[in-house]
Amino acid sequence: MGVDYYCCSSCQESRYEEYVDSCTGCGKRLCTNCLVNDDVNSRFAHHYGTKYDSNNAELVAELVSYGMEIDENGKIIGYNEGDIIDDSAIDPKYCPYCQDKEIDSDAVLKYLLEKYNLTLKKVWKEMKKLKK
């Protein structure tokens, strides 16, 4: 059994898999050291996931779409109220990108290229000419 490492989009450090997960808002991979609003006092990424709430119809519908079964009361089988949903990723309220605490350089570059109708190749050639 091996150990998987993942790179954090924010600090660029590689960490054990249990310390890195993806944000459900923007998809960035983040380690627990780079999250904002640490209100659960935990070092483990799965604690930043979604808590099961049977009254949250949107959440229940999403879980059903993933193949989870519901009982006769409309509750997901196998989960109690407040349980952390495994592999639920990081809530956007903890993400430095979603909370505008960190800038996504790749998204900015893509936006500027599209806005000014440029390509990376065109910009790179121009930059190389400036160096000469």
Question: Is the CB of residue 119 less than 8 Å from the CB of residue 113?
Answer: yes
Residues 110 and 78 reside in one and the same domain: no
Residues 33 and 15 reside in one and the same domain: yes
Total domains in the chain come to: 3
13-67 pLDDT per residue, tens: 887 666 788 888 898 988 878 887 655 544 444 455 667 888 888 888 877 877 7
Q: What is the span of the domain harbouring residue 17? A: 1-49+84-101
How far, in whole angstroms, is CA 121 from its chain's centroid?
30
Residues 90 and 38 reside in one and the same domain: yes
78-127 pLDDT per residue, tens: 888 877 766 556 778 888 999 999 999 999 999 999 999 999 999 999 99
Residues 9 and 64 reside in one and the same domain: no
pLDDT for the residue numbered 68? 80
Tell me 19's DSSP state.
G
Residues 37 and 97 reside in one and the same domain: yes
Look at strands 5-7 and 20-22 and give their pairing.
Answer: unpaired
